[in-house]
Amino acid sequence: MNSAPGTPHEEAPGVRSQDVRIRVNGEDREAYVEVRTTLADVLRDEFRLTGTHLGCEHGVCGACTVLIDGRAVRSCLVFAVQLDGTDASVVTVEGLGTPEAMHPVQQAFYEAMSFQCGYCTPGFVCSTVAFLDEWRASGRPALDERDLRVALSGNLCRCTGYQSIVDGLALAVERIIGDETTTDAAITTATIITTTTE
Amino acid sequence: MKPAPFTYHRPADLDSLVATMADLGDEAKLLAGGQSLVPLLALRLASPTHLVDMSRVLDLRAVDVHEAGESADAGYLVVGANATQRDVELDLRIAARVPLLADALPLIAHPQIRNRGTVCGSIAHADPAAELPAVALALDARIVVRSARGTRRIDASDFFLSYLETALEPDDVVVAVEFPLAAPHTGAAFHEISRRHGDFAMAGVAASLTLDHDGRIVDARLALSGVASIPLRAAAAEAGLVGAAPTDEAFLAASSEATALLDPPDDIHATAAYRKHIAGVLVRRALRAAHERALAGFEQS
Ligand SMILES: Cc1cc2nc3c(=O)[nH]c(=O)nc-3n(C[C@H](O)[C@H](O)[C@H](O)COP(=O)(O)OP(=O)(O)OC[C@H]3O[C@@H](n4cnc5c(N)ncnc54)[C@H](O)[C@@H]3O)c2cc1C
Ligand code: FES
Ligand code: FES
């Protein structure tokens, strides 16, 4: 993150609106916005990536969770200008998979019916992808149900009662363990993250 | 989009950051990880005229262990202002060198917040229920501050003045926080009780114990969060522990001493009496855990 030099119009005396250039789902995107515009609003209103949802807009609910350089982040607590001109790579739920080719986490959530209205789902999916990626990177230590619940605790759901979401995560974990012990193949979890952040 | 309009500044290096803050004075707010400030803006509890984004000052991202030596920061872990809570949490050196910090970090909110929130920002923000101000106070950390007037170090014991109020002037930039490296045979624990995992705790306790070769306590650190308008150091309880054998009786005495004069806030999250009660329980639990970890260190060495 924050390594490339910014664009020239950023120097004091400061700006109210400016062009922002951000890498989203592998593409460089641009928009002219007020500096108070959050990343969530730029994704939704400028880039029309409406899979990222807004619940509370102050950091509590997790509906707006996206990945920045592979890490889960609240997009309602980041101003788009903060990412402008950096080499940060944003991935939204749209960047993870398509209805025809779902990401393994989306597939697991689909099979475990980890949603009802679906409002919270993109946030849960992004948080889960980041969690599983970090878990794999740290050598896949044993996980119990409490670990799974803690992993999901930064996201709120008003419908499911959570059990089906825990089941979805457990299914995704099971598949990763199964795949890696039988074929030793690299899992597709977060492929997009690793390909866009290096 | 909910924040009121503001003007955005993005200085590219430390000198221009300090100059910008000197220019704008109390009209400006520094934007670090934004995990406390942006919610305040969204709720319009704050509406500064200027926001100064410090994230482009790259040399403030460093996390360095300075072993004993001649320099002013020898014997300290130096956490730069742009280092996120998660950067430090995932840093494999921290558990051995500043174990209290390592134990406290995972208790802050959720990974999604710690991925952006900074260690220095949490201390500068000075929420009395937050973990890191209590850690800084317990360990006698030093806050390194830069302004157009120069660089100075503020002891944690002089830093926290009141609810969200610190010894910082409006144009001061915290450039780093320095945490003393732990002595050998030190064990530490941060214990807290919150309603849901990741919520701000109703009360928390930072404890650190250092043992000598006979297993007696040679150094004891205790600080409490969430029980007053600032984090509190339990100095009398610490004094009672030094020289004592680390027994349950000693920990019980420390817990009574640490909580005797507490007058915690009463709010929708917990009553004053409940906070006082759990603070006492947490002191005992944290001291017991710190002691066990100090002993485990003996077995390894
Ligand atoms: C849902 C949620 C739950 C949370 N739960 C917890 C919790 O359980 N425990 C906890 O401790 N925290 C919690 N937080 C807060 C989080 O830890 C913040 O990251 C932290 O308090 C502030 O750090 P920041 O880098 O985000 O600072 P910012 O939000 O950018 O800034 C906070 C304040 O500090 C000032 N500031 C920041 N950096 C500096 C600096 N270097 N020099 C001078 N002033 C500075 C800013 O001007 C601002 O006034 C939570 C936040 C959210 C949204
Ligand atoms: S909308 Fe961002 S956390 Fe609720
Ligand atoms: S499925 Fe409706 S909020 Fe989670």
Greatest alpha-carbon span in chain B: 62
Q: Looking at the partner chain, which of B8, B196, B197 has a beta carbon nearest the beta carbon of A81?
A: B8
Among A56, A106, A29, smallest CA distance to B112 is for A56
Residues of A in contact with B196 (CB under 8 A): 153
Among B12, B6, B1, smallest CA distance to B51 is for B6
% of chain A at pLDDT higher than 90: 80
Give me the pLDDT at residue A182, please. 57
Q: Helix, strand or coil for residue B68?
A: coil
In chain A, the domains with their CATH numbers are 17-95 (3.10.20.30), 104-197 (1.10.150.120)
Q: What's the rounded Cα separation, in Å, for the pair B149 and B170? A: 12
Among B250, B230, B231, smallest CA distance to B241 is for B250
User: For A48-90, what is each residue's pLDDT tens digit?
Assistant: 999 999 999 999 999 999 999 999 999 999 999 999 999 999 9
Number of inter-chain CB pairs under 8 A, A vs B: 115
CB B118 less than 6 A from any atom of ligand 1: yes
Taking CA A40 as the corner, what is the angle to CA A35 and CA A44, rounded to the nearest 5 degrees?
105
The answer on pLDDT for B239 being more than 60 is yes
Among B9, B36, B147, residue to substitute to test ligand 1 (most atoms within 8 Å of Cβ): B36
CB B57 less than 6 A from any atom of ligand 1: no
User: For B103-153, what is each residue's pLDDT tens digit?
Assistant: 999 999 999 999 999 999 999 999 999 999 999 999 999 999 999 999 999
For ligand 3, the distance from its centroid to the CA atom of residue A172, given in whole angstroms, is 19
Q: Which ligand number lies closest to the CA of residue B129? A: 1
Give me the pLDDT at residue B301, please. 60
The answer on pLDDT for B299 being more than 80 is no
Q: How far is CA A191 from CA A133, A159, A194, B123, B179, in A?
A: 9, 30, 5, 36, 38
Residues of B in contact with A6 (CB under 8 A): 10, 12, 56
For ligand 3, the distance from its centroid to the CA atom of residue A120, given in whole angstroms, is 5
Give me the pLDDT at residue A8, please. 41
User: For B156-195, what is each residue's pLDDT tens digit?
Assistant: 999 999 999 999 999 999 999 999 999 999 999 999 999 9
Residues of B in contact with A166 (CB under 8 A): none
Q: Using the beta-carbon criterion (under 8 Å), do A150 and B197 form an inter-chain contact?
A: yes
% of chain B at pLDDT higher than 70: 99
Among A54, A66, A153, residue to substitute to test ligand 2 (most atoms within 8 Å of Cβ): A54
Q: Crossing angle for the helix pair A145-152 and A121-137, nearest 10 degrees?
A: 130
| pTM score | 0.93
Residues of B at the A interface, defined by Cβ within 8 angstroms? 1-12, 16, 20, 23, 31, 34-35, 38-39, 41-43, 50-51, 53, 55-56, 58, 82, 86, 109-113, 115-116, 196-198
Q: How confident is the model at residue B300 (pLDDT cuts 50, 70, 90)?
A: low
% of chain A at pLDDT higher than 70: 85
On the question of a cis peptide bond just before residue A13, with omega within 30 degrees of 0, the verdict is yes
B272 to chain A, minimum CA–CA distance in Å? 25
The answer on pLDDT for A5 being more than 70 is no
Residues of A in contact with B8 (CB under 8 A): 14-16, 18, 35, 79, 81
In chain B, the domains with their CATH numbers are 7-48 (no CATH), 61-180 (3.30.465.10), 186-300 (3.30.390.50)
Give me the pLDDT at residue A14, please. 87
Q: Considering chain B, what is the average pLDDT of its residues?
A: 96
Q: How far is CA A152 from CA A72, A155, B18, B100, B254, in A?
A: 12, 6, 40, 25, 37
Q: Whose CA is nearest to atom 2 of ligand 3?
A: A117
Task: Say if CB A198 and CB A69 are below 8 A apart.
Answer: no
The answer on pLDDT for A166 being more than 60 is yes
Which residues line the pocket of ligand 2, CB cutoff 6 A?
A 54-57, 59-64, 74, 76
Q: How confident is the model at residue A192 (pLDDT cuts 50, 70, 90)?
A: very low
Residues of B in contact with A149 (CB under 8 A): 197
Q: What's the rounded Cα separation, in Å, for the pair B171 and A67? A: 33
